Amino acid sequence: MDIPLATSRAARSNELPPAARQAPDGRFAVSYAAVWVLAGPLILNSGVQSILNLTDTWFIGRLSTNATAAMGAIYWLVLCGILLLGGVAMSVQTFAAKAYGARRYSSAAQATWSGLAASLMTIPAFIALGFVARPILEHAGIEPVVRELALEYWWPRFVVGGPLALLSWSLSSFFNGVGHTGRTLIVTLIISVSNAFFNQWFMFGLGMGIAGSAWGTVAATALGTVLGLGFFLGPTFRHRFKSHLTWRRLKIARQFTLGVPMGLAIAADLFGFALFQLMLVRVGAVAGAATQIVTMLTSLAYGPGVGIALAGTTLVGQSLGQRRPDWAGTIGNAVIRLVMLYMGGIAVLLAVFTPWLAPLFVNGADPNAAAVLTLCVKLMWIAAAFQIFDGLNLGSGFCLRGAGDARIPAIMVAALAWGCWVPLTHMLTFAPGEGYVHFLPQFGLGPAGGWWAALIYVVCLGSAMYWRWRSGAWRHLS
């Protein structure tokens, strides 16, 4: 049963805010140890997710350069399509964190069931969107052999795997919101380990090729979802959160109210990345393969950075649930700094070691192998600078998410992605006479130009998100 509001207010006045310690002068200070206790499993979880992505790239790289380029052409379309619809699942974390901070534990479980129901309601949308990939790839001018391989991967990975991913995210978002991040880590570990097994079995044991990689991920996600549901309905959460009862009082409308702009913001950014990658694949298989490898390598910085940022969502949400907006601002600032420092530091290390890492993802017998490796080394340093400012973007954006501030950030992302990044990538990448349109100036800098465009975009986006956070406008939403 939820604690009455008056009682919960009195209790909260005598407790420390989330991730706080009492300083000698009596004021609250950030306990970075407490932040890391919460963020540690999330960092490991995101790191494992990055390894999962690298696993798919490694298995597909064993097929051919064309297969790697095909994954590069379709991967971000898959991801941004899932994330476009996935806000209804990710918003569970915001509602669960605020409910947990207010000690309304059954409301946190109620948000989870609402997220699961909203996720199932997206299935028709996944089916409808399944038909958009072919015209996009055809209009993008992708080589026919690469295009057909990409479509083989698309159908099972998106149409079948998408709804499963949302169900899994609804459960993980609950665990993250109430501070049980270790459960999220266990689920992701099971998915990652089983993914490698299923990839080998479907791709080579059953001879399914690139489609086998997609089905392997689907099977692994299904296994993880069942495990997460088992945790959610287990004794720990049944006793405190009434997880076995709260499915009867769903609040689906609010999942869409917050989740739709949340998903749109992420999808606008990632669809920009998808077009960025499509343009580089259009330059040639070498540019597409090198970009895919660099992207997967930088996910080792990006993924754990997301883990730290997710801790910010939880801590800001829990602070606001305790009705402590000033502390929400303090802890949010600390998390933003941590995200930037981590992502920037790891990205620089990756750039230094790219000459030794990149060959792991290239078939040495392929005639384009040397060209791909040379380009990877060049692009990785630009990608390292990108990660620093993406840390500012992620840290600020995820703290805003914890406060329930999604609409204005979504507008900022869409405006910069479509008004700056996409046209600038076209301008800097293609030479005159190339590309998709001819009314824009074209400077012909090739794949390096595309990555410079991405860097300019993320500098602008990170600065805008941080300004929104520092403005404090989110305080009025709580």
- Per-residue pLDDT reduced to its tens digit, 24-67: 777 888 888 889 889 888 888 876 776 776 777 778 877 777 78
Is pTM beyond 0.75 here? yes
CA distance linking residue 110 with residue 477, whole number of Å: 21
Rounded to the nearest integer, the mean pLDDT of the chain is 86
Contacts of 262 (CB under 8 A, 6+ apart): 87, 90, 91, 401, 406, 410
Can you tell me the mean pLDDT for 451-461?
A: 95
Residue 2 has pLDDT above 70, yes or no: no
C-alpha distances in angstroms, 449 versus 92, 270, 279, 351, 424?
Answer: 39, 19, 11, 18, 9
Write down the H helix ranges in 284-357. Answer: 285-321, 325-357
CA distance linking residue 427 with residue 424, whole number of Å: 5
Query: What are the tokens at 345?
Result: 């530091």
At residue 50, the pLDDT reads: 66
Residue 183 has pLDDT above 80, yes or no: yes
Is 436 strand, coil or helix?
A: coil
